[in-house]
Chains A and B, each alone.
Chain A
Amino acid sequence: MSTTRNALGGKGRKHTIGLLALAAGMFGFAFALVPLYDAFCKWTGLNGTTSGRASYISSTGTPTDREVTIQFLAQAGNGMPWEFRPTQSELRVRLGTLATTTFYVRNRSATAVTGQAVPSVAPGLAAPYLNKLECFCFTPQRLDAGAEMNMPVRFYVSTDLPRQVHTLTLSYTLFPVGAKS
């Protein structure tokens, strides 16, 4: 090495530092993808994310004769000791009219547990057209040991739902709150 011609001057140093910065930047970029991904999903309604807020009935539009099927799914997530199922497996609803269904829960454990339901709609692109006026998913739900209840969801499907959608699936997963999954 002592005889090696030392051709690497300041330019090589600049390149090295620049490339290291690029690598560090890409590491940061991957973390930036996380909020970007959420923002993108919210903006487009992709990935079945529904609005976490209640809608208001004034925006339903004029009710039409067009009907769609809404299917309901419920599952207790990892570490959630609740029985959780829809009381109706599906419902035919007319676009723009209000519908109500309930989900049954029972705490099978010996302690009080608080749960949070996370909704998802398939197909994802139809998610923005499913508007909930009232939902147990808006707030955490608390059940005493052995207690049970029916939790209501009131919703309507907007009249401008794309033509090709005939069936919507509304799915809830319940997760324990305040516990590590």
Chain B
Amino acid sequence: MHAHSATAEHPPKSGLRAFVARWVLTTNHKEIGTLYLWLSFTLFFIAGAMAMVIRVELFQPGLQLTEPNFYNQMVTLHGLIMVFGAVMPAFVGLANWMIPIMIGAPDMALPRINNFSFWVLPFAFAMLLSSLFMEGGAPNFGWTFYAPLSTTFGPPSTDFFIFGVHLMGVSSVLGAINIIVTILNLRAPGMTLMKMPLFVWTWLITAFLLIMVMPVLAAAVTMMLTDRHFGTSFFAASGGGDPVMFQHIFWFFGHPEVYIMILPGFGIASQIIPTFARKPLFGYRSMVYATAAIAFLSFIVWGHHMFATGMPLAAQLMFMYATMLIAVPTGVKVFNWVATMWRGSMTFETPMLFALGFVMMFTIGGFSGLMLALVPADFQYQDTFFVVAHFHYVLYPGAIFGTMAAVYYWLPKWTGHMYDERLGKIHFWSAAIAVNLTFFPMHFSGLAGMPRRVVDYSLQFADFNRISSIGAVLLGLTQLLFLYIVIKTIRGGAKASDQVWEGAQGLEWTIPSPAPLHTFQTPPDLASVEQANGLRT
């Protein structure tokens, strides 16, 4: 608080100390949002570099770059850091920046908890990454850390992984509580729940998912810890435990987790598409209900990750039908986005391109998910590159393109400058081509039988893997372009207007660009804003 008022009201003390104090002690939601986004961006590149190691190794059959154990460490850390370090903090950063502005609140409800939940994260990932330099190497059991691979056979550094996950869990739960309390208590007068922007709605539901499943993950790693060191046998058959139970507990967390990584993306697409179609979102209510339905269903489908564990037929059928049911609310969403664009006055600025790429390619990932949901088919697909293709289609063009769409969409509001539209378009098209070049051939290598998490493979998969590797390197390069565009926009560029986008509606476009450090100290008068903007009521 002291540092904060120093920057806001008094001339800052010069030098490094003031700079560090400002960012370490800040309780301002915009500054914390910025910290989250930069941390996420940094970890995105670190985990992306690991993906490059993986793809270069798989460029041709045989061992060329890494020894198998190091390859497994790369696969594990790439997954863990992308999930917990890149995607989740990016969405939390966007939530921090935008939710208070979008609901007309002066800040998050619990600013100091907000500061804490961010600053826990660099320590968590420093711990996780430090395991790379330890004797025995980093965790090498895959991001799903199945027992007994991670308990009996895990390297000594597994304990650092366990405490890292604990810290990430604390951060996520506190962040989620903050978001819910903010949304429930600090909305501007007159903003009823059913008037909230969809991004806020999807985050409200995501936050509930986080609070309900991150503690389950924390419990799972705690059981691992006591199994490893304190003589318990949660997952050890020798003491009456059961390794399959690990999978049940993990996926009870894991399936809601994958929706945690996509629901805010749904919200972002629902903000951007109406702006550039210049029409209100089609089916607002059904969007809200569909999001809630997806969140509910996510708790009763975890078994579809475990069809091959010897599950009885009745359970397989239950999980299969429940999983296929998710296609219904998801279909409602895709239909609503398409219907929003129908007869709209569409323009295709970079945020819109990324949002459209999101809708199209996420749907491809959704369809391969339906294929995997079918029990008889899943026995062929499971643990192959087909699964890798599936979840990268929902995560890369889904979660990551969604985040990039959001960054392009709100960057002018954050920095006060327009980004370079030509470079943005180049970024989108090269990323869209590269993402398909990388992940589409994985469908084929998977269907042909190539197992996932292998350092070497049979000769017949060589062509598909070569295409994937070339695509992956291109994809990595396009993200360097993204970094360049963001930095360029922060440093300068055409002045952005307050509304930024012609068709943009909502409270965030009523404040100046760049957004001042403090906004909505007095609650906005929603009625007059709506009148001025021609907002639908």
Contact residues of A with B, CB < 8 Å? 1-5, 7-9, 11-12, 15-16, 19-20, 22-31, 33-34, 37, 41, 44, 46-48, 77-78, 118, 122-125, 173, 175-176, 180-181
Chain B hits for A25, CB < 8 A:
215
Which of B51-59, B392-400, B410-418, B516-524 makes up part of the contact surface? B516-524
Q: How far is the CA of A124 from the CA of B316 in the complex (A)?
A: 13
The answer on a CB contact under 8 Å between A37 and B242 is yes
Q: Tell which of A28, A41, A181 touches B236, judged by Cβ atoms closer than 8 Å.
A: A181
Chain B hits for A4, CB < 8 A:
106-107, 518, 521
The answer on a CB contact under 8 Å between A77 and B106 is no
The answer on a CB contact under 8 Å between A181 and B152 is yes
- CB-CB nearest 6 A-B residue pairs: A30-B219, A175-B238, A27-B215, A26-B215, A30-B216, A181-B238
The answer on a CB contact under 8 Å between B215 and A12 is no
Which of B244-252, B329-337, B449-457 makes up part of the contact surface? B244-252
Contact residues of B with A, CB < 8 Å? 1, 4-5, 27, 105-107, 109-111, 152, 173, 176-177, 180-181, 184-186, 211-216, 218-220, 223, 231, 234, 236-240, 242, 244-245, 248-249, 252, 310, 312-313, 315, 518, 521-523
> From A3, which residue of chain B is reached at the shortest CB distance?
B521
**Nearest Cβ in chain B — how far from A124, in angstroms?**
6
What is the interface of chain A mostly: helix, strand, loop, or mixed? helix
Q: How far is the CA of A123 from the CA of B522 in the complex (A)?
A: 66
User: Assuming A1-B111, A34-B245, what are 20 further A-B pairs, CB within 8 angstroms?
Assistant: A2-B1, A4-B106, A7-B185, A8-B181, A15-B185, A16-B177, A19-B176, A19-B211, A20-B177, A22-B212, A23-B215, A26-B216, A27-B216, A27-B218, A29-B216, A31-B219, A33-B252, A47-B244, A175-B239, A181-B239
The answer on a CB contact under 8 Å between B249 and A33 is yes
The answer on a CB contact under 8 Å between A125 and B312 is yes
**Nearest Cβ in chain A — how far from B167, in angstroms?**
15
> From B218, which residue of chain A is reached at the shortest CB distance?
A27
Chain B hits for A77, CB < 8 A:
237-238
The answer on a CB contact under 8 Å between B238 and A78 is yes
12 pairs, A vs B, C-beta closer than 8 Å: A1-B4, A4-B107, A5-B522, A19-B176, A23-B173, A27-B215, A33-B245, A47-B242, A77-B238, A124-B310, A125-B313, A175-B239
The answer on a CB contact under 8 Å between A23 and B211 is yes
Q: A8-B109, A123-B310, A181-B239 are in contact. Are A30 and B215 (CB under 8 A)?
A: yes
Q: How far is the CA of A21 from the CA of B249 in the complex (A)?
A: 20
The answer on a CB contact under 8 Å between A180 and B231 is yes
Q: How far is the CA of A12 from the CA of B110 in the complex (A)?
A: 9
> From A77, which residue of chain B is reached at the shortest CB distance?
B238
> From A12, which residue of chain B is reached at the shortest CB distance?
B185
Chain B hits for A12, CB < 8 A:
109, 181, 184-185
> From B238, which residue of chain A is reached at the shortest CB distance?
A175
The answer on a CB contact under 8 Å between A24 and B181 is no
Q: How far is the CA of A26 from the CA of B109 in the complex (A)?
A: 23
Chain A hits for B218, CB < 8 A:
27, 30
Chain B hits for A78, CB < 8 A:
152, 238
Q: How far is the CA of A33 from the CA of B234 in the complex (A)?
A: 11
The answer on a CB contact under 8 Å between B211 and A26 is yes
Q: How far is the CA of A181 from the CA of B312 in the complex (A)?
A: 30
Chain B hits for A22, CB < 8 A:
211-212
Q: How far is the CA of A29 from the CA of B219 in the complex (A)?
A: 9
The answer on a CB contact under 8 Å between B212 and A7 is no
Which of A9, A16, A123 is the most central at the interface, judged by chain B CB atoms within 10 Å of its CB? A16
Chain A hits for B216, CB < 8 A:
26-27, 29-30
The answer on a CB contact under 8 Å between B234 and A34 is yes
The answer on a CB contact under 8 Å between B180 and A11 is no
Q: How far is the CA of A19 from the CA of B181 in the complex (A)?
A: 9
Q: How far is the CA of A4 from the CA of B517 in the complex (A)?
A: 11
**Nearest Cβ in chain A — how far from B1, in angstroms?**
5
**Nearest Cβ in chain B — how far from A126, in angstroms?**
10
Chain B hits for A8, CB < 8 A:
109-110, 181, 185-186
**Nearest Cβ in chain B — how far from A175, in angstroms?**
4
Chain B hits for A33, CB < 8 A:
245, 248-249, 252
> From B172, which residue of chain A is reached at the shortest CB distance?
A23
Chain B hits for A48, CB < 8 A:
310
The answer on a CB contact under 8 Å between B173 and A37 is no
Q: How far is the CA of A44 from the CA of B314 in the complex (A)?
A: 12
Q: How far is the CA of A25 from the CA of B313 in the complex (A)?
A: 32
Chain A hits for B219, CB < 8 A:
27-28, 30-31
Q: How far is the CA of A22 from the CA of B211 in the complex (A)?
A: 7
Q: A33-B252, A34-B245, A124-B310 are in contact. Are A23 and B214 (CB under 8 A)?
A: yes
> From A37, which residue of chain B is reached at the shortest CB distance?
B245
Q: How far is the CA of A48 from the CA of B310 in the complex (A)?
A: 9
Chain B hits for A47, CB < 8 A:
242, 244, 310
The answer on a CB contact under 8 Å between B27 and A122 is no
Q: How far is the CA of A39 from the CA of B219 in the complex (A)?
A: 19
The answer on a CB contact under 8 Å between A1 and B5 is yes
The answer on a CB contact under 8 Å between A1 and B27 is yes
**Nearest Cβ in chain A — how far from B244, in angstroms?**
7
Chain A hits for B213, CB < 8 A:
26
Chain A hits for B176, CB < 8 A:
19
The answer on a CB contact under 8 Å between B177 and A23 is yes
Q: How far is the CA of A175 from the CA of B249 in the complex (A)?
A: 25
Q: How far is the CA of A31 from the CA of B224 in the complex (A)?
A: 12
Chain A hits for B177, CB < 8 A:
16, 19-20, 23
> From A34, which residue of chain B is reached at the shortest CB distance?
B234
Chain A hits for B152, CB < 8 A:
78, 181
Q: How far is the CA of A94 from the CA of B84 in the complex (A)?
A: 55
Chain A hits for B315, CB < 8 A:
46
Chain A hits for B184, CB < 8 A:
11-12, 15
Q: How far is the CA of A6 from the CA of B236 in the complex (A)?
A: 52
> From A118, which residue of chain B is reached at the shortest CB distance?
B237
Q: How far is the CA of A125 from the CA of B186 in the complex (A)?
A: 54
The answer on a CB contact under 8 Å between B237 and A5 is no
Chain B hits for A124, CB < 8 A:
310, 312
The answer on a CB contact under 8 Å between A5 and B521 is yes
> From B216, which residue of chain A is reached at the shortest CB distance?
A30
> From B186, which residue of chain A is reached at the shortest CB distance?
A7
The answer on a CB contact under 8 Å between B181 and A15 is yes
> From B315, which residue of chain A is reached at the shortest CB distance?
A46
Which of A1, A7, A16, A123 is the most central at the interface, judged by chain B CB atoms within 10 Å of its CB? A1
**Nearest Cβ in chain B — how far from A10, in angstroms?**
10
Q: How far is the CA of A4 from the CA of B212 in the complex (A)?
A: 31
